Amino acid sequence: MKNENRKKIIKARNNKDEITEIIELLNSNKLDKAKELLDYQLKNDPGNVHLLLLLGVYYVKKENYRSAISSLLKVIDSPVGNIYMPAAVKLIVYSYIKTNNYELAKALINETIETYYEDVFLKNMLAYIFYAEKNYLEASRVYKEVLEKDPDNITALNGLGYCLIEHFSKHHDGLKLCLKALDKSPSDPSILDSVGWGYFKIGNYKEAEKYIKKAFHILPTNEDIKKHMMIVVEKS
C-alpha cells in the first residue's frame, strides 16, 4: 500500500513538473515542443482541464481558433473546470472575435458577466465588438462602465477617447482621455495613433504628425495607422 501511494505522489509530481514545462514553452513560443508534451500528457489524462486549457492557449498562439474553441469549451463545460473558467472564457471570446463570430462572443460575455463574474477585460472586449459592428454609442457606453469601476483602465481610456474623437466630434474630451492612457502606456502604437489623430482633429498638425509617426514606426503594418499617417503627412 505504501509503495502504491508513493507511486501516486511521484506521478502527480511529474505531471506538475511537465505542466510547468509546457507553460514555460508556451510563454517562450516554443510551440512545437509544447504540443508534443501536451499530446503525451493528454493521451494519459484526456480529461485534465488544465491541459485542455493549455491546449487552447497553444491553438490560439497558432491562430487555429476553431480548434482553440473546441478545446476550451471542454474546460468551461467540465464540472471541475471552475478554477480555469475565467481564462478559458477570455480565450474563447478572443477566438470568436478573430473568426468574426461576434454574436457568439457577445452571448458568452453576457452570460459570464450575469451568471458568474464581472470582468473589465470581458467588458472591454464587448466594447470592441460593438465598435467593430459600428455601434459606437454602445461601445462608448460599455467603455464608460469600465471606467466607472477602473478609472485608470488603459484600454477603456483609449477606446472611449478614440470614439469621442472620431465619431462624436468631442475632440478635446477624447484627446484628454487618450493622453491619460498614453501616460500609462507610452509605447503603445494604438494609443500613440489615437493621440495623434486627436491632435489632428483639433488642428495641431505638428503634434499629430509627431505621434502618428511614432505609432507608424512601431507598427507600420496597421491599416488605420497607415491611413492616418498619409492624411497627416499630406496636411502638414
Amino acid (1-letter code) at residue 97: I
Measured between alpha carbons, how far is residue 223 from residues 123, 154, 227 in Å? 25, 22, 6
pLDDT at 2 over 60: no
The average pLDDT across 61-71 equals 98
CATH 1.25.40.10 in the chain, residue ranges:
1-117, 135-236
The span from the CA of 198 to the CA of 178, in Å, is: 8
The residues, ordered by sequence, that sit 6+ positions from 25 with a Cβ below 8 Å of its Cβ are 31, 33, 34, 37
Mean pLDDT to the nearest integer, 11-36: 85
Choosing among 1.10.760.10, 2.60.40.10, 2.130.10.10, 1.25.40.10, the CATH entry for 1-117 is: 1.25.40.10
Does position 8 have pLDDT exceeding 90, yes or no? Answer: no
In the DSSP assignment, the letter for residue 82 is G
Query: What's the pLDDT score for residue 73?
Result: 96
pLDDT of residue 12: 43
Residue 16: predicted pLDDT: 65
pLDDT in tens, 96-123: 999 999 999 999 999 999 998 889 999 9
Report d(CA 30, CA 93) in Å as an integer.
24
Integer-rounded Cα Rg, in Å, for the chain is 22
Q: What is the mean pLDDT of residues 42-61?
A: 96
Q: Is the pLDDT of residue 11 over 70?
A: no
Q: Average per-residue pLDDT in the chain?
A: 93
Q: Does residue 7 carry a pLDDT above 50?
A: no
pTM for this prediction:
0.88
Q: Do residues 142 and 123 touch, judged by C-beta distance below 8 A?
A: yes
**Best CATH choice for the domain 135-236 from the list 1.25.40.10, 1.10.260.40, 2.40.160.40, 3.40.50.300:** 1.25.40.10
Give the integer Cα–Cα distance in Å for 83 and 85.
6
